[in-house]
Amino acid sequence: SGSSSYHEDWEAFPPLDRLSVLDLLDNFALPQQLEKLQKGISAQTQKVKKSRDAFKSKSHQARERMVEEWRRRVPTADEQLDRYRKRMRVSVDKLGKQWGDAKTITLREKVSFICGVMNIFLSGYLIGGFPEWFHIWYTIQLLYFMPIRFFTYHRRGMHYFLADLCYFVNFLLMLSIWGFPGSKRLFTAAYCLAFGNNAVAIIMWRNSLVFHSFDKVTSLFIHIMPCATLHSMVHLWPEQLQASRYPAIWAIKHSPA
């Protein structure tokens, strides 16, 4: 087995009797091939290094160009101040034109403002001095506001909003006042809805008393006037008047618990 292994190791080399001069020269040329290979590797290394340096240089130049471009785009403090002055000058000119325009304050807004202020004073006067007349004042205003609201919303294509609960509450209260004054169930329903949904909707929908806006005045009236009317009828009317005109209120107040 030992002789066979030695024989296998020496199979890669030709026998001595077959060696030629070229085989010997090949052995002497091996260092030259190694040197050539080393030179090739060095050349490739130099190329990679030059490519890397060129890429770094291009990246640095591109970054400098980008920074310079951003510096050109960003205005200086003086330029920003000039732009701000121009915008302010244009805004002041537009505001002056709007104030000087006669169409800004229309006749309808003036009338709405005067009527809104007078409505507040008259409503407060009736509640404090003549509460038994307040439900009539509420009815007159409802007959005035509702047709205008229906016509305005129908013209805008918003008439489906009139199916809201707040309009239904006003309708129930009108039925309770003028149609069925003795119905305790109808009055209870109108009272609970007025001081429940309608009162809460004033805060939820942020109803505001803007005298020169007829639409906002109408929205506030629809939500708050049923509460004021019911308050005057329940708490400010004498019992004799409640018993004679609206027995439902008197019956509810004097019904056994």
Name the percent of the chain lying above pLDDT 90.
42
What confidence score (pLDDT) does residue 138 get? 97
Answer whether residue 105 shows pLDDT above 90.
no
In sequence order, the 6+-apart residues with CB closer than 8 A to the CB of 75 are 83
d(CA 60, CA 57): 5
Segment 161-185 shows an average pLDDT of: 94
Q: How confident is the model at residue 175 (pLDDT cuts 50, 70, 90)?
A: very high
Token duo for residue 83: 């732009």
CB 190 within 8 A of CB 226: yes
What confidence score (pLDDT) does residue 23 get? 56
Segment 161-187 shows an average pLDDT of: 94
What confidence score (pLDDT) does residue 5 get? 47
Model's pTM, two decimal places? 0.59
Mean pLDDT of all residues belonging to the chain: 82
Answer whether residue 50 shows pLDDT above 60.
yes
Answer whether residue 6 shows pLDDT above 50.
no
What confidence score (pLDDT) does residue 25 get? 53
Of 2-16, 58-72, 208-222, least confident by mean pLDDT is 2-16
Whole-Å CA distances, 28 to 23, 24, 40, 145, 237: 9, 7, 20, 118, 132
Q: What is the pLDDT of residues 188-229, one digit of tens each?
A: 999 999 999 999 999 988 888 888 888 899 999 999 999 999
Q: What is the pLDDT of residues 125-172, one digit of tens each?
A: 999 999 999 999 999 999 999 999 999 998 888 888 888 999 999 999
Closest CA to 166 of 208, 188, 194, 192: 194
Other beta carbons less than 10 A from residue 175's beta carbon: 16
Answer whether residue 12 shows pLDDT above 60.
no
In sequence order, the 6+-apart residues with CB closer than 8 A to the CB of 103 are none
What confidence score (pLDDT) does residue 14 get? 55
Answer whether residue 107 shows pLDDT above 90.
no
